[in-house]
Amino acid sequence: MHGFWLGLLCWAAGSVQAVDAVYTPEDSVAVERLLREVPPSVPDSSRVLFFAEALCGIPYVANTLERDGKEEALVICMSGFDCMTFVETVLALAEAHREGKHSFGDFARCLRQIRYRDGVVDGYCSRLHYFTEWAEQNLASHAGWQEVTACLGVSCDCSSRELDFMSSHASLYPHLQDGEANLRAIKEVEKRISSLDVCRIRKEDAGAALGKVPPGCLVAFTTRTEGLDVSHVGFVVKKEGNACLLHASSRHKKVLVESAPMDDYLSGQPSVSGIRVFRFY
């Protein structure tokens, strides 16, 4: 996106912590507008869904976090999302609002905590690239976040999985071709998270489970792709009693709610093996 700059923001009102961020003036205006627009009547349980629905129609844009040849920084882009930056933006908005904070600096602080290991931007490999590690950290650091995959009344497969997609496909990642340090660091991450047991609901059982999932929950689609854990993420909305997917869609090129129920959507995704489900607040 054109017009980005790297700056040090010191927000005295509501936040005393400095935030390194790459953004535009329009991004900061959009964030603060959304944080101010939440109606007082919106309950805590609906906060995530409010922000997710507010972003419907924004274009799908891939690779907004990749800054070839530049130092890693917290990228904030409100004019285009891929599936993961959409989810992270929604959750950072919800977290800032839950704290009673309404400044761009507070949102940036929340986003950094969600996106980076221990909330610290320290190079490319400090970003939580694999969903397995992303979920592990955020469940540990946010008291109101809960994985409910195993609580939906259907059987789950719980096992570890060998994760090495990034290191095995380093040619796809420019930052893994720039010397050996990043590649070694990614391999260390992959080795650690490959030992973690993760529960998933099998794809054929997802329909029964999704009927019990409240609106606003996050659904992560586990994948059959070798070396990878999750291929897509989005939120649950209910339409005529059916669970539908609200997500940043590469097919439709924007954030939207799929017209078909999510179990029908899943049936058209041959690489998806199952789902993980998360609830907030």
Residue ranges per structural domain of the chain: 5-129, 145-280
Q: What per-residue confidence (pLDDT) applies to 44?
A: 78
Which residues, other chains included, contact 53 with Cβ-Cβ below 8 Å and sequence gap of 6+?
Answer: 237, 246
Whether the predicted pLDDT of 224 surpasses 70: yes
Q: What per-residue confidence (pLDDT) applies to 163?
A: 98
Sequence letter at residue 78: M
pLDDT band of 242, cuts 50, 70, 90: very high
Which residues, other chains included, contact 167 with Cβ-Cβ below 8 Å and sequence gap of 6+?
Answer: 176, 183, 186, 187, 190
Least confident of 21-25, 175-179, 228-232, 243-247: 175-179
**Mean pLDDT within 147-174:** 96
Which residues, other chains included, contact 58 with Cβ-Cβ below 8 Å and sequence gap of 6+?
Answer: 78, 79, 80, 81, 248, 254, 255
Least confident of 39-43, 220-224, 258-262: 39-43
Residue 71 has what DSSP assignment? -
Which class for 76: exposed (0-12), middle (13-18), buried (19 or more C-beta within 10 A)?
buried
The string of pLDDT tens digits covering residues 16-36 is 233 478 999 999 999 999 999
Tell me, rounded to whole angstroms, the distance of Cα 59 from its chain centroid.
16
Pick among 3.30.530.20, 1.10.3670.10, 2.40.10.120, 3.40.50.720: CATH of 5-129: 1.10.3670.10
pTM: 0.92
CATH fold of 145-280 reads putative xylanase like fold (2.30.260)
**Distance separating alpha carbons of residues 157 and 259, to the nearest angstrom:** 29
pLDDT band of 69, cuts 50, 70, 90: confident
